[in-house]
Amino acid sequence: MLVIPAVDVLGGAVVRLFQGNYDAVTTYSHAPAAVASRWVRAGASIVHVVDLEGARSGTPSPGLWLDLGDTGVPFQVGGGIRDVSTARGAIGCGATRVVIGSAAVHNPVELSAIVSAIGASAVVAAIDVRAGMAVGSGWLDSGATLSEVVGAVVESGVGTALVTGIERDGALDGPNTEILETVRSLAPGLSLIASGGVGSLGDIAMLRDSGYEAAIVGRALYEDRFTLEEAIETADNRKS
């Protein structure tokens, strides 16, 4: 299982939100590209970057993409990428994959168009769940039913979904496995990236043994609950 460090960016700073709340922000750095590079030097195969203001406003920052691309760091990026032109722009700036949330919830036709334009391997669908609903627009809208969104993601041809239990995000009290397993039951063919709540090496071991493709880890790394090297070792050390 891959361990993917999160680099969430708001106002040019690396931050973490608590449960998706833009008024509950902890700042860790003012150099996102440098932080991403540090994670790769520590062993990350890819870094998960979220433009939080882009997610909220629908207008992402190409400058962030360019800064990351200039470092040569492999990264997937989300936040405000809602159409073909923007997705192509992110890939053109160096992103390995784009993470599509709002279009997956509200515009599955455009999600399908993005897949057709840049290829399924370059698209990750973000399925962000609060109170049983899959939400978009920086987690600020009312969303759509989980089954409806998962069905649209599968229909679009996307092969990988990043599943976040928003109530667990930044809380360090363990992933929401109920949501993950619900998505798995609705779409057994999707590769799943678990996100939200990872607070210990035990959480990583549990996700590993549950057969998920990857786990996003954010606050636990920034607050030294464990090192990235320890997380990668745990993710690779599959139970016999």
pLDDT tens digits for range 200-234: 999 999 999 999 999 999 999 999 999 999 999 99
For helices 84-92 and 62-71, what crossing angle results, to 10°? 30
Inter-residue contact 126 to 103 (CB < 8 Å): no
pLDDT tens digits for range 165-190: 888 777 688 999 999 999 999 999 99
CATH number of the domain to which 44 belongs:
3.20.20.70
Which comes out higher in pLDDT, residue 237 or 140? 237
Catalytic residues: 8, 128
Domain containing 29: what range?
A: 2-236
pTM: 0.94
Three-state secondary structure call for residue 9: strand
pLDDT tens digits for range 91-124: 999 999 999 999 999 999 999 999 999 999 999 9
Q: Which pLDDT band holds residue 141 (cuts at 50, 70, 90)?
A: confident
CA 24, 30, 36, 38 dihedral sign is: negative
Which pLDDT does position 240 carry in this prediction?
41
How would you label 46-76 residue by residue, b for 16+ Cβ within 10 Å and e otherwise?
Answer: bbbbbbbbbbbebebbbebbebbbebebbbb
Total number of domains constituting the chain: 1
Q: Which amino acid is at 66?
A: L
